[in-house]
Amino acid sequence: MLFILYYIMARIWRFYIRSILLGVSLAMDACAVSMANGLKYSNMKKTFIIKMCMCFGIAQGVMPLIGYAIGHAILDYIKEYIPWIALFLLGCLGMNMIISAFHKEEEKTLSKNGVLLQAIATSIDALTVGLTISDYTITEALICVAIIGGITMGMCFIGVYIGKRFGTKLGYIAEIIGGIILIGIGVEIFLKGVSVH
């Protein structure tokens, strides 16, 4: 009886540790993009920051769930294109941020569509995580993606406030740095994805 209890507790412990580690690793890109946003859009209001971080968190949680739902069959056909999509989206967003740094007349606000694109671009590679949790029950999968989403939100809050702190001091240089960060993340996702294939 004691052995069975120990086995159950060990399995639960491993499940939560694995979910937390997955959450931290998947949240890194979203955190860096949030920092880039904070660098450029240092005048963001708290309500918008909350919505932005929630958007990143939800996207990062939903993508593995989609991967879990569609399983191996469909994902095998599309996963080779995921690094290319991420590179394209983040590359375009980064280049746009760098170009806008030299156009002072442009309104320095981040649009909802911009946030949505960033959330999709940084979380699309998390589709394949759905395969790593394919042996989970639906309850375990939902708990796992909730942990991933929650960690992403928290890390995005930290990232955006770090960016805001330095963004006000660096001026237009912050926008260039932010753009380079976005492009760099796109390249990193691309290289990681290509090396797997």
pTM of the full predicted structure? 0.73
pLDDT (tens, 9 = 90+) of the chain, 197 residues, equals 566 666 566 667 778 888 888 888 888 888 888 988 888 787 888 899 999 999 999 999 999 888 888 766 666 676 677 778 777 877 887 787 777 767 654 555 677 888 888 898 888 878 777 777 777 888 888 999 999 999 999 999 999 988 888 765 665 666 677 678 778 877 877 787 766 55
d(CA 56, CA 34): 9
Nearest of 14, 69, 59, 38 to residue 157 by alpha carbon: 38
Burial 21-54 (b: 16+ CB within 10 A, else e): ebbbebbebbbbbbbbbbbbbbebeeebbeebbb
d(CA 172, CA 41): 10
